[in-house]
Amino acid sequence: MWIRIFNWFVKLTAWPAQRIILRLRISCEDPAVQKRSLRGPVILVCNHNAVYDYAALMFTFFGRTLRVQMAEVLFAKPVLGPFLRMLGGIRVDRENHSLQSLRRAQSLLEKGWAVGIFPEGRIPLPDEEKPLPFRPGAALLALETGVKVVPVAVRGAYFREPIRVRIGVPMDLRALTAGETDSRAAVNRATELLREKVAELGKELEHGA
> Could you tell me the pLDDT band of residue 156, with boundaries at 50, 70 and 90?
very high
Q: pLDDT by residue (tens digit) across 36-53?
A: 999 999 999 999 999 899
What burial class does residue 46 get, using C-beta atoms within 10 Å of its C-beta: 0-12 exposed, 13-18 middle, 19+ buried?
A: buried
- The pLDDT, as a whole number, for residue 97 is 64
State the Cα–Cα distance between residues 65 and 174, nearest whole angstrom.
25
- The pLDDT, as a whole number, for residue 54 is 94
More confident residue, 177 or 126: 177
State the Cα–Cα distance between residues 74 and 92, nearest whole angstrom.
10
State the Cα–Cα distance between residues 54 and 51, nearest whole angstrom.
7
Q: pLDDT by residue (tens digit) across 111-131?
A: 999 999 999 989 998 888 899
What's the predicted TM-score (pTM) here? Answer: 0.93
Q: pLDDT by residue (tens digit) across 5-22?
A: 999 999 999 999 999 889
Are 116 and 41 in contact by the 8 Å Cβ rule? The answer is no
- The pLDDT, as a whole number, for residue 1 is 85
Nearest to 53 by CA among 138, 121, 1: 121
- Is residue 59's pLDDT more than 70? yes
Would you state the torsion angle of the CA atoms of residues 100, 103, 109, 114, taken in this order, to the nearest 10 degrees?
20
> Could you tell me the pLDDT band of residue 99, with boundaries at 50, 70 and 90?
confident
SS3 at position 43: strand
**Chain Cα centroid distance, residue 160:** 22
SS3 at position 174: helix
Q: Which residues pair with 115 in a beta bridge?
A: 43, 67
- The pLDDT, as a whole number, for residue 100 is 84
Measured CA angle at 125 (ends 122, 128), to 5 deg? 105
State the Cα–Cα distance between residues 84 and 75, nearest whole angstrom.
7
SS3 at position 187: helix
- The pLDDT, as a whole number, for residue 208 is 75
SS3 at position 105: helix
**Chain Cα centroid distance, residue 71:** 13
**Non-local CB neighbours of 203 within 8 Å, separated by 6+ positions:** none
- The pLDDT, as a whole number, for residue 98 is 61
